[in-house]
Amino acid sequence: MSDPLGTPGPPGEEPGGTLRPTSPAALTGWAIAGLVGGWLVHPVADRYGTAPIITWAQPLALLLVVAILGATAWVTHRQVHVRRERLDPQQAVNRLVLARACAYVGALVAGGYLGYAVSWIGVPAELAEQRAWRSAAAALAGAGVAIAALLLERACRVRSDDPAP
């Protein structure tokens, strides 16, 4: 990816630089942190009150985010790679920052809901099965957020042989 802001260089030269794609290790770290945090919600909430109930609103809201990110990725890909148009630098940075943030948050949310779902497996509580299934659905939607964000990040990528603006 091209770094629209560039890195400082000698006076009189154009700023330049590169920005690496989101690393799988960073996404894995956020997912593991979410997994541990989500798993801990159940025992902590039981000790101090009632464990949260997961409704269908959570996975549906995440699916809405997936749709928005996916549409933005598709529009960006068509604009940059198919029609070979240049994005406004501020717009490119905004989309890249959105993609990065959503990839990290999507991994964290997916891990969190997965951890919460796993914490309910085998528990003989009244709403345990419902919490586990809805949390698993939200975890899948959170993974979808991360995937759509990575697609948007990839759509923002500019070939290295493209002429400088």
How much is the pTM? Answer: 0.84
The rounded radius of gyration (Å) of the Cα atoms in the chain is 20
In order of 17, 31, 78, 102, the CA distances from 2 in angstroms are 7, 27, 18, 20
Instruction: Give pLDDT tens digits for 81-126.
Output: 999 888 888 999 999 999 999 999 999 999 999 999 999 999 888 8
Number of structural domains in the chain: 1
Q: Which of 8, 145, 151, 157 is nearest to 63 (CA)?
A: 145
Whether residue 5 is contained in a domain is answered as: no
Whether residue 165 is contained in a domain is answered as: no
- Tell me how far apart the alpha carbons of residues 165 and 160 are, in angstroms, rounded to a whole number: 12
Whether residue 7 is contained in a domain is answered as: no
Range of the domain at 116: 24-155
Whether residue 35 is contained in a domain is answered as: yes
Instruction: Give pLDDT tens digits for 13-37.
Output: 555 667 788 999 999 999 999 999 9
